[in-house]
Structures are given as C-alpha cells and as structure tokens.
Structure 1
Amino acid sequence: MTTAVDRLAPGDHICWTFRTDDERLTTMLEFVGAGLGAGEKVLCFTEEIAPRTLRSALADLGVDIEAAGARGQARFHTADASYLATGRFDAEAVLDGWHRQLAEARQEGYTGLRVIADMTWAARRPQVDGAERLAWYEARASRIFADAYATVVCMYDQRLFPGDRLRDIAAAHPAAVSPRTADDWHPQLRLVRTADPAGLCLIGEADRSCRDALEAVLAGLAEDLPTGGPVTVDVSRLAFADVGCAAALARTAGALPYGMRIVGASAALHRLLEMIGADAP
C-alpha cells in the first residue's frame, strides 16, 4: 500500500503532525527504512523514543541497521545532542549545521539526505531559550532544503502544541501531513531552486497555509542564486496561487538587484499580478 512517506521527494520539507505514540513510531520506521532502502543518508533526531529502541524496531523489520550505522549511512541523535547542544535553541547555529550536513552527505557520495526530527522537545521544554523562534527557524530551513537534495520531515505532536502555534509552524513548511490526510495526499507546494535558468520552480498550490515558507525562500533568492541577470521564477506548474503569493512574488521582484522573470503564469495569477502592479509574461 502506498503511504504518504512514499509520496515524498527530495526538496520536500514537511510538517508532519500526529496524535498517538504508534503514529510517531510507524512514521519514523517507514521514513528511515525507505531512505536506507533508496541508498540515501539518513539522520534521525528523536526525543520521546530512545535511539536504541528505534534501532531494535528497524532490525525487527529486517533492516540491517547495524551495518548502516557502521558505514555512517544512518545516524540517530537526541535533541540534547543536536537542537539543544548549546543548552538553548540557537536557530542560526542549527541552520548553519544543515549546510554542513548537506555538504557532508554530498561529499560522501549519497544520492540524497533524509532527515526526520521529533520536535517534541519544543513543547516539553518551552522554557528553553530560543524555543519561541521555532516557526522562524522552520521557514528559513525551507530555504535551505529548496535545493532538491534533502527530504525532511519535522514531526509535531498535536497533543502538546496549541493549535495556533501549530498553524504558525505548519505555515513555515511548504506542506503538511496529519493523521486525517486522505490516501491520495501529495505535498501541497514544492519549492525547487534551479540552476539553468537560475531561479525557482513552484509546483502545486500556494496559499496562506504555506506562505511563510514561500516568502522565506523567495526572500533568499538574491543570496542563494547570485547572478548577473534576472532570476527566473517558473510558475507553470502552480495550480493555484492566492493574492498573498502574488504579493510575495511582486515584493521579491522589486528587491532583486537584476529583477525577476515570472514565466508560465496562469490567467488567474496574471490578473492578480496586474492588480498589484506587477508584470508577468
């Protein structure tokens, strides 16, 4: 049976909510197993489940987790040894760490990097300095992962995170999954930076539910894609865009030193861009 895990692709940065301990464990096992089976490097950040418990459960499923660990393909970390390694949540330091992890996986020759992280520490330990910046951090992480190399799942326990905070966190991801997700689920929005032409490809639907992620990726284009010409944003595979998406595109176009070319705009998006004074061919 095809699951939501099977529909993930490099570049996806997913807010994955759950309501039971079994849902958490099942998702982590499926994700790690799929990544190892695909020959990708896998990083698993766990909070409520001990690393040894996850390794044992994977071995019970027939995954040679000991061999994967010995060759460095699978690594398990706790929150205290990763997100909170300095005794606080230093968002900038964690973001810098992702750049290093991506570079290391590429240097080691892996076809991709898979990351799954149980973010329960942010609810269990809200007094941790910096935890209030979690949504800000997730939006900037979306920018880092838009290079279509890493597949990233951030797990949030619906029993612990207030609804309004969880909505803010979800909006910092291009897509979200919940236990109520339909069988035909696919990521709502995919943000993929392109090299030729230098720019960004938007795939799916863009509305307020993922706006913070979109705005963070757009805002970083000038730095992430240094070029002597206009940045190209391909929206030909964007099935829906609301006025907020159009406004974000217009703001970015005005901020980029050499401007922006928006290509493939639908008639509806073209009208929105015209309404706010932006142009799209």
Structure 2
Amino acid sequence: MVKVMTTPVDRLTPGDHICWPFRTDDERLTTMLEFVGAGLGAGEKVLCFTEEIAPRTLQSALAERGVDVETADALGQARFHTADTSYLATGRFDAEAVLDGWHRQLAEARQEGYAGLRVIADMAWAARRPQVDGTERLAWYEAQASRIFADAYATVVCMYDQRLFPGDRLRGIAAAHPAAVFPRTGDDWHPRLRLVRTTDPAGLRLIGEADRACRDALEAVLAGLAEDLPAGSPATVDVSRLAFADVSCAAALVRTAGALPYGMRIVGASAALRRLLDMIGAEAPGLTVLPADGVSPAAATGRR
C-alpha cells in the first residue's frame, strides 16, 4: 500500500485556530502558498495578511504553482493585506477593533456564499514594531480570537517567526491558541484541541487534549459562553471526544459553571475527568456532570 504523505495544512478543518511557529523564510513561504492554494481550491474565501513578503510576490508564487490567483483576486475570493492596512490601520494595535473586524469578515464571507473563510497571517509586525501601542496585548487578543473562530466556519493560521519572538513570549502566545504546529512536526500531527461551538444543544464541544499548552484559549472560549449562547438554559459542554484533560481544564470548567447564570451540563465525561472535577469542585453550584457510561448525573456525582 502506498502511503499518502500529507502536511499539517492538509489536516486543518474549519474551526481550527492554529499558532504556527517557524524558523526559516522558506517555511513561511511554503506554508502560506500551501494554505492559500488549498483554500482557493476548496472554494473558500481567503484572507492573507503578509508582513515580510510583498503581496505581489506571494501572488506571483501562487501563479507559478498553477493557482489562478488573478481571477480569485478579481472576484474578491482572495484578498492580500499588510499590517499597515489591517492590524495597524489606525496607527496602533487596537485589539478590540480587530476582533470586531473578524465578526464582520465572517458575516461577509457567509453572505457571499463561500464554503468557509480561510485566514493566514504573518505576525512579524508585532516583533518588528514593538514601539507600536497595543502589541503587549497580543496573547490576550489571540485568546479572544479563539472564541470568535469556534463556530467551525473559519480556518485560521497565525504564523510566528521564532527568530523574532522570545521563547517565553511565544509560549504564552501559543497557549492562546487551541493548537500549535512546531518545526519538525511528525506525519501524525493533528490539532491538539478543537473547540467547536454547538447550537443543539447550545454550548461547546471539546475534541482532542486540553492541558496547559492551550489553557488560555480554552478559558477564553468558556468565559465567553454567557455572551455567545442564548439565555434561558444551561450551557452544554460535550467532552465525549476529549482524550485527555488536566487539572487546568477541569478548573476552567468548574469556574465557568459557577459564573453562568443557568449553569453548565458536562456531557460524556471520562472517569478521569470526573475525578478531577470532584477534586476541584465537588459542590460547585450550577454544575451537572453526565459521564460517558450514561449513568444519571445525580447517581454519578451526587450534585446538580
């Protein structure tokens, strides 16, 4: 049997918000070309934010790969921006304004009938221009963006040059994303955590592994449930496809349950997660836990 080789780009799906550290100029260019080309081929709208590579250079490289980027640009399917025309359009990094802009971009892509929105951004501007007001809030911004992109429509890659961002800062930024891709990632790579907002029931689905590596992203999405979901019923958090959760994940779930006006139902909890929840918040108000074995919440945990 012939093994089909894939790259991390091939394994991304709508809803993924990925931190993509890299070390070389070739890695940056190759990733951007693969990501943009795949999005256009899938009929998605593509937004490319470039800093170190001129938009015209990217477009020419795509054309050399056989991508009809000229038509995509003419139709509005592909848009190429620099930091000066996007993140720093006001002369500073206004995190709230940029986040509001993502809401508009998502709505616009849906109205235009695209299958999804695909975004790739070279974040080098945040390191190249440290004097710009607001860049110190970058990790907070990325965590809040994770909340916006949890609706399984956009696929977002944020590229961070490891030559520009100190290790401690980059680790904090990575934790604001549900998943990260690092150089020399093996063939079996897949996003560590996927956060998918659900409507029936209203809440959130967690897929993969939730630990300190993606703690800030998870906490931001959970904290936003009170605003992001309709009022009148508890939020349902489906963890049936969560292969692993550490104590930081359990603590975030307990805190969120106590803050939500109508409480939280955790569905599909493994025995290991139930033990963590019991250890952290055995009497947490508003928290109902339904384990994977189907036992009723009261029988399983003794709490409501």
Q: TM-score range by the shorter chain?
A: over 0.9
Rounded Cα–Cα distance in structure 2 between residues aligned with 1:132 and 1:180: 29
1:218 aligns with 2:227: no
Residue number in structure 2 paired with 1:277: 281
SS at 1:29 equivalent: helix
Query: Does the CA contact (< 8 Å) of 1:204 and 1:239 recur in 2?
Result: yes
1:121 aligns with 2:130: no
What is the 5 A alignment of 1:104-253?
104-253=108-257
Amino acid at match of 2:289: A
Rounded Cα–Cα distance in structure 2 between residues aligned with 1:180 and 1:220: 34
1:80 aligns with 2:84: yes
Residue number in structure 2 paired with 1:5: 9
Rounded Cα–Cα distance in structure 2 between residues aligned with 1:264 and 1:70: 47
- 1:231-262 deviations in Å (ceiling 9; x for gaps): 10000000000011000000000010100000
Identity of paired residues, percent? 89
Rounded Cα–Cα distance in structure 2 between residues aligned with 1:221 and 1:62: 43
Deviation at 1:277, TM superposition (A): 1.9
Rounded Cα–Cα distance in structure 2 between residues aligned with 1:169 and 1:235: 25
Rounded Cα–Cα distance in structure 1 between residues aligned with 2:37 and 2:11: 14
Deviation at 1:101, TM superposition (A): 0.2
Amino acid at match of 2:115: T
Rounded Cα–Cα distance in structure 2 between residues aligned with 1:173 and 1:252: 19
Rounded Cα–Cα distance in structure 2 between residues aligned with 1:31 and 1:185: 16
Q: Of the two structures, which has the highest relative contact order with CA contacts closer than 8 Å and spacing of 6 or more?
A: 1
Amino acid at match of 1:261: R
Rounded Cα–Cα distance in structure 2 between residues aligned with 1:76 and 1:82: 10
Amino acid at match of 2:85: A
- 1:209-239 deviations in Å (ceiling 9; x for gaps): 0000000000000100023111100000000
Residue number in structure 2 paired with 1:38: 42
Rounded Cα–Cα distance in structure 2 between residues aligned with 1:263 and 1:173: 23
Deviation at 1:45, TM superposition (A): 0.1
Residue number in structure 1 paired with 2:302: none
What is the 5 A alignment of 1:42-121?
42-121=46-125
SS at 2:156 equivalent: strand
SS at 1:280 equivalent: strand
| RMSD (Å) for aligned C-alpha atoms | 0.6
When structure 1 is superposed on structure 2, of 247-256 and 222-231 the one drifting more is: 222-231
Deviation at 1:173, TM superposition (A): 0.1
Q: How many residues align?
A: 281
After TM superposition, the score normalised by the length of structure 1 is: 0.99
Query: Does the CA contact (< 8 Å) of 1:16 and 1:178 recur in 2?
Result: yes
Of residues 259, 263, 267, the one that matches 1:263 is 267
Residue number in structure 1 paired with 2:285: none
Rounded Cα–Cα distance in structure 2 between residues aligned with 1:99 and 1:117: 17
Query: Does the CA contact (< 8 Å) of 1:193 and 1:200 recur in 2?
Result: yes
Rounded Cα–Cα distance in structure 1 between residues aligned with 2:184 and 2:176: 20
SS at 1:264 equivalent: strand
Query: Does the CA contact (< 8 Å) of 1:198 and 1:227 recur in 2?
Result: no
- 1:107-166 deviations in Å (ceiling 9; x for gaps): 000010000000000011111100000000000000000000000000000001000000
Rounded Cα–Cα distance in structure 2 between residues aligned with 1:214 and 1:237: 15
Amino acid at match of 2:22: F
Deviation at 1:39, TM superposition (A): 0.1
Amino acid at match of 2:142: E
Rounded Cα–Cα distance in structure 1 between residues aligned with 2:198 and 2:157: 22
Deviation at 1:180, TM superposition (A): 2.0
